Amino acid sequence: MLAAPPSLSHTRRMSVDKEAHMRRHHDMGGLEAGPVERREHDYAPWEKRVDAIMRLLSDPKRRILRVDELRRGIEALGPGAYDELSYYERWIASIADNLIEKGVITIDELGRRMAEIEARHEAERAKGRAE
């Protein structure tokens, strides 16, 4: 957990305590964060796909989404989602929010498509179990 407040220089502590509520969640330099996970891991196909989506949206031909906008969307997820989602889950959540804001996709169309894909996966899984 990242609950412990950072310990800041004594000369600043009085005013910084007052300003602590103005620290945004992602801005966590100095907070207790546990050990660094150093194990290498392979990317799942969906993670590679998220990376590819971002590259296509941000390439010089399209310029639909900048990396700064991606990052802003990630920081806007809020403390719960920011801590719980995995790296590429945060990316796709931010990409979706940004594309809705920009009018590239609508909430209605995205919601229907997500339900459709979920149903298809369920059917495929059921089929797999039956075989």
Query: For other proteins, which is the closer residue by CB, 83 or 118?
Result: 83
Q: How far is the CB of 32 from other proteins (least distance, A)?
A: 12
Query: For other proteins, which is the closer residue by CB, 8 or 81?
Result: 8
Binding residues for other proteins (CB under 8 A): 6-10, 12-13, 15-16, 19, 22-24, 27, 29-30, 66, 68-69, 71-72, 75, 102
Q: How far apart are CA 131 and CA 128, in angstroms?
A: 5
Q: How far is the CB of 72 from other proteins (least distance, A)?
A: 4
∠ Cα 94 56 85 (to 5°)? 25
DSSP 81-130: HHHHS-HHHHHHHHHHHHHHHTTSS-HHHHHHHHHHHHHHHHHHHHHHHH
Q: How far is the CB of 102 from other proteins (least distance, A)?
A: 8
Termini Cα distance of the chain: 43
Query: For other proteins, which is the closer residue by CB, 41 or 63?
Result: 63
